Amino acid sequence: MPWMPYVWSMQTATPAVPTPSFDLHGWRREIPVLERFVPLNACSHAPQTTRTRAAAEAYLDSWNRDGMDWHGWLAEVDAAKAEFATLIGASPDEIAVSTSVSAATASLASALDFSGARTRVLASEAEFPTVGQVWLGHEKYGVQVDWVPVRDGLIETGDYAEAIDERVRVVSACHGYYQNGFKQDVAAIASAAHAAGAWIYVDAYQTLGTGPIDVKALDVDFLAGGTLKYLMAAPGIAFLYVRSELIDKLTPAVTGWFGRANPYAFDAKSLDWSPTATRFETGTPPLLNAYVARAGLSIINEVGPGAIQEWTDQLQKRLIDGADQRGLEIQGTRDIARKTPSTAFLCPMESHLVEAALRERGFLTSARGPAIRIAPHFFNTLEEMDRALDALVEVFAAGQR
């Protein structure tokens, strides 16, 4: 065979090391805890950034300096809603602020009419307990809750179509499964729900901030999420999206003065409704949390959900390939296209002991059931994946001795 330098160099060239499309090290400098720990628990709680800390301090400074700046503080809540709306491709008028996904879901559930022929809620077994529990709380009003099963750590989309009928009022299908990161095909589930005249509610807490989410393209009716996981913020605040066409059809029983057309009318005997999604709000919004939420959301919107997904896909690939090389067992799907960045590793011992042992070695992870979840985010490096897996192997080996 003649000498072919080009082909030779192609064959021996080492594959290029993937790099993110954003300034990874610039962002890392904004995360002080990286000096002590490798945060790999974004499925549970994201690390603090200089930006989120400054936002909390901005509220505290204003409170201290001005005594009260009610309208300025409420403007920050609106700004946080607008950031959330940008993130999911909605209009700010379609966003309600709440204090938790539980509270947002309860407010929505209280607005649904179960008095007619549509008495069923079809919920996935992958729902975070709080969501299932809100629906179960409505059994006393005659609601029948049925479950689409999780099998082998995932749900077959076709199972929804089989279970939906004209008695279903709402299908409750989380986007990402908190247990192992399995991601549902929400667009397909929405289409099955709509074909039967049902609505679809999506808890997107585990996917918001991990990649692009467009509520219009997915065609979902309701979507909820909080900010302390991949949205880089803190607890105490959550958002509810309500599709604009549905807003004036729904009146929640869980309500309060912020649900009114004019909260400052101060008329306890009147129950008018805000024309926007604020009708799903209740009391004084979480003001301090809104400062932090806006800052966290702005980081995600600035880095870009698409760029985040590209990079976390690389991190996941490194984790899954590395798990195979080290003989570690993964719970749930290994298909990156069907996963959030969270990967669940089955533990040969109590998973909370594994979490504690990894913390001692400098890695923040999150135990859930029989598995330890390693959930990288945009600020993590490939090298951190290798080191975390080595630490996991060490912890498992020590635990088995």
Ligand X SMILES: Cc1ncc(COP(=O)(O)O)c(C=O)c1O
Residue ranges that bind ligand X, judged by CB under 6 A:
100-102, 128, 130, 174, 178, 203, 205-206, 226, 238
Taking the least distance from each CB to ligand X, the nearer of 238 and 391 is 238
Taking the least distance from each CB to ligand X, the nearer of 100 and 251 is 100
> Please, what is the minimum distance in Å from the beta carbon of residue 207 to ligand X?
9
Taking the least distance from each CB to ligand X, the nearer of 100 and 284 is 100
Taking the least distance from each CB to ligand X, the nearer of 137 and 399 is 137
> Please, what is the minimum distance in Å from the beta carbon of residue 103 to ligand X?
7
Taking the least distance from each CB to ligand X, the nearer of 204 and 391 is 204
> Please, what is the minimum distance in Å from the beta carbon of residue 13 to ligand X?
42
> Please, what is the minimum distance in Å from the beta carbon of residue 223 to ligand X?
12
> Please, what is the minimum distance in Å from the beta carbon of residue 228 to ligand X?
8
> Please, what is the minimum distance in Å from the beta carbon of residue 52 to ligand X?
17
Q: Note whether 164 and 194 are within 8 A (CB).
A: no
Q: Which residues contact 200 (CB under 8 A, 6 or more apart)?
A: 170, 171, 172, 173, 186, 189, 190, 193, 194, 220, 221, 222
Taking the least distance from each CB to ligand X, the nearer of 97 and 389 is 97
> Please, what is the minimum distance in Å from the beta carbon of residue 127 to ligand X?
8
Three state DSSP letters for the chain: CCCCHHHHHHHHCCCCCCCCCCCHHHHHCCCHHHHCCEECECCCCCCCCHHHHHHHHHHHHHHHHHCCCHHHHHHHHHHHHHHHHHHHCCCHHHEEEECCHHHHHHHHHCCCCCCCCCCEEEEECCCCHHHHHHHHHHHHHCCEEEEECCECCECCCHHHHHHCCCCEEEEECCCECCCCCEECCHHHHHHHHHHCCCEEEEECCCCECCECCCHHHHCCCEEEEECCCCCCCCCCCEEEEECHHHHCCCCCCCCCHHHCCCHHHCCCCCCCCCCCHHHHCCCCCCHHHHHHHHHHHHHHHHHCHHHHHHHHHHHHHHHHHHHHHHCCCEECCCCHHHECCCEEEECCCCHHHHHHHHHHCCEECEEECCEEEEECCCCCCHHHHHHHHHHHHHHHHHHHC
Taking the least distance from each CB to ligand X, the nearer of 100 and 191 is 100
> Please, what is the minimum distance in Å from the beta carbon of residue 124 to ligand X?
11
User: What whole-number distance in Å separates Cα of residue 377 and Cα of residue 374?
Assistant: 10
Taking the least distance from each CB to ligand X, the nearer of 127 and 384 is 127
Q: Note whether 18 and 316 are within 8 A (CB).
A: no
> Please, what is the minimum distance in Å from the beta carbon of residue 191 to ligand X?
22
Taking the least distance from each CB to ligand X, the nearer of 126 and 395 is 126
